[in-house]
Amino acid sequence: MKRLFLPVLVLAAACGPRDDDDPKFCAVPVGDSPRRGVADAPVTVVEFADFECPYCRGVEPTLVALLEERPDEVALVFKHAPSGYHAHALPAALAAACADEQSRFWEMHDALMAEGAALDDAALASHAESIGLDVDVWRDCLDGDAAYLTVENDLTLAVESGVTGTPTFFINGRALVGAASLDTFLGAVDEAADAAAASGLSPQEHYAALERRPCR
């Protein structure tokens, strides 16, 4: 079966926080990527992440707290950005994409992002079994092209959106790079929610309008 290892895999190599006085803007298309939160949330937070990145793991409790603090305002969308410099990042991304085929993405996500979680092949299979996947179907998915295409599409989108490290977030299009504090996330979400309300549009219409703006 054809395997799709793309050059863009090495571009998401940086991992960690970064100060940015002029944050990028890009309202990333959500598509059918996994999401947490209410469907009609006024604020869409798109995360590009690498399961082997310690900063991605480290920011997870903050994201959980963000959804708890703003349950009616935030939808969190996950996009794959495995670094070519992390040996287990791509297999972990594929494992999660194949879990999504059985509607168990977030269960696999949480297992892979857990502190100290192993990501070798045996561990990935163990995670698949522990979250109740049909492991045979999951292994067949790993041998196919669909999961590779999912990761390929996310990585292409990451490059087009100007992502150079993980985790990178786009909060209604406004970039936030690195494992920021909860207060930073709350401030950015509240600002985005205020702008969405002021637009007079529905959340879906507002985000569609943001998508029409050019990325920079």
pTM for the predicted model, two decimal places: 0.91
**Alpha carbon distance 48, 158 (integer Å):** 7
Domain for residue 189, yes or no? no
Model pLDDT, residue 22: 54
Q: How many domains does the chain have?
A: 1
Which among 163, 144, 188 has a CA at the least distance from the CA of 8?
A: 163
Model pLDDT, residue 15: 56
Domain for residue 67, yes or no? yes
Choice between 168 and 14, residue whose per-residue pLDDT is larger: 168
Distances, alpha carbon 82 to alpha carbons 59, 85, 148, 201, 216, in Å: 16, 9, 12, 35, 22
**Alpha carbon distance 210, 73 (integer Å):** 17
Look up residue 147 and give its DSSP letter: H
Mean pLDDT of 106-128: 97
Model pLDDT, residue 26: 94
Domain limits for position 154:
23-176
What proportion of the chain, given as a percentage, has pLDDT over 90?
85
- Phi, psi angles (nearest 5°) of residue 131: -95, 5
Domain for residue 205, yes or no? no
Q: Does residue 8 register a pLDDT over 50?
A: no
Model pLDDT, residue 196: 97
- Phi, psi angles (nearest 5°) of residue 164: -125, -5
Q: For residues 106 and 79, is the Cβ–Cβ distance under 8 A?
A: no
- DSSP collapsed to 3 states, 84-129: CCCCCHHHHHHHHHHHHCCCCHHHHHHHHHCCCCCCCHHHHHHHHH
Domain for residue 114, yes or no? yes
Q: Tell me the CATH number at 115.
A: 3.40.30.10
Domain for residue 144, yes or no? yes
**Alpha carbon distance 182, 91 (integer Å):** 30
Instruction: State the burial class of residue 138 (Cβ atoms within 10 Å of its Cβ: 0-12, 13-18, 19+).
Output: buried
Residue 84 pLDDT class (50, 70, 90 cuts) = confident
**Alpha carbon distance 7, 103 (integer Å):** 29
Residue 39 pLDDT class (50, 70, 90 cuts) = confident
Tens digit of each residue's pLDDT (9 = 90 or more) over 163-177: 999 999 999 999 999
Which among 139, 112, 104 has a CA at the least distance from the CA of 34?
A: 104
Which is it for the CA torsion 74, 172, 81, 91, positive or negative?
positive
Which is it for the CA torsion 101, 103, 75, 118, positive or negative?
negative
